[in-house]
Amino acid sequence: MRIPSFVLAALGALLLSACMRWQSAPVPAPGASGEPRVLGTARLTTWSGPDGPAGLRKRIVLRDVRVRGDSLVGWDGSIPGQPRRVAVHRIQVTGLESRGLDWLKTGAVVVLTVVTVWGATAVYVVSMGDV
């Protein structure tokens, strides 16, 4: 029985995406030439500012984040099918996290997968030897 290649690709993508984690990053300054800096997907922790309730913090996950002037601009996809553009002033950002690969977990998943496939193949070969 042959497994379709798209199934293997989907399984591989699922295994590797499970090994991603949020990593703290500094809020970058805008580019010197005025060009926006692209951050990709980021999780921002913001505060309400001096006019809002004290200590109120909010987390937002944005796609295609760019640093433009004094703001971070990206797309909020919290409502499926209705992405909205969001801009947050740099002063309001108290934390910035970007997606990164966790090499230790990725290595463990790959090794565990190889051992499992090898073991299943060994059991299959041994069971077919008695036929």
pLDDT tens-digit series, residues 10-53: 766 766 666 778 888 888 776 666 677 788 889 998 886 565 55
Can you give the pLDDT at residue 21? 84
Cα(85)–Cα(106) distance, integer angstroms: 33
Can you give the pLDDT at residue 75? 92
49-63, 97-111, 113-127: segment of lowest average pLDDT: 49-63
Can you give the pLDDT at residue 85? 92
Can you give the pLDDT at residue 4? 67
